[in-house]
DNA sequence: GCCAACGTTGGC
DNA sequence: GCCAACGTTGGC
């Protein structure tokens, strides 16, 4: 069981879209570090979905539905995608502002590497984020 | 709208 | 293979 955070621009694809769709293929990841992270995903891993842009907050959960695989729409085999199924919307979104203000997250990739779209979350971070998301 | 912090591209 | 120039992301 691993934990991850995925970023998305909600006007492109939001957590609400995932809830509506019941399942989606998470594609469009091109950054080598993000792809490397995605390659470490396994079925059943838990995911938090973060909205960029105007929101800048963790809004909901999801789960990895299967092992990552090469994007059939791309000729480059390094371009991976992964299927996700939705989890619940969080009661209280966890904002980037809150994480930046919290010394426990000073080394968290979301804070340190603003352009990284797929990143691991440690169990300790995950538990802290879950607590914060309960308000 | 700006720009910091990246990543990518292409000429050499 | 380097690296200058350019492009992109995403927070501010």
Looking at the predicted structure, is the pLDDT value of residue A135 above 80?
A: no
Give A17 CA → B4 C1' in Å.
31
Strand C interface, A 10-39, C-beta < 7 A: none
Structure tokens at A87: 């989890």
Distance between start and end Cα atoms, chain A: 25
Give A74 CA → C10 C1' in Å.
25
A105-129: buried (b, 16+ CB within 10 Å) or exposed (e) per residue?
beebbbeeeeeebbbebeeebbebb
pLDDT digit string (tens) for A26-81? 999 989 999 999 999 999 999 999 999 999 999 999 999 999 999 988 878 888 99
Strand C interface, A 73-132, C-beta < 7 A: 96-97, 100, 114-115, 117
């Amino acid at each position: 069981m691993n934990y991850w955070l995925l970023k998305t621009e909600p006007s492109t694809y939001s957590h609400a879209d995932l809830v509506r769709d019941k399942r989606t293929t998470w594609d469009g990841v091109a950054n080598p570090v993000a792809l490397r992270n995605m390659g470490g995903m396994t079925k059943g891993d838990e995911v938090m979905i973060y909205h960029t842009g105007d929101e800048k907050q963790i809004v909901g959960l999801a789960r990895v539905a299967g092992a990552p695989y090469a994007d059939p729409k791309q000729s480059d085999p390094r371009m991976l995608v992964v299927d996700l199924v939705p989890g619940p919307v969080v009661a209280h979104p966890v904002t980037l502002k809150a994480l930046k203000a919290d010394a426990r997250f000073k080394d968290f990739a979301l804070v340190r590497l603003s352009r990284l779209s797929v990143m691991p979350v440690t169990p300790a971070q995950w538990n802290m984020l879950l607590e914060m998301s309960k308000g």
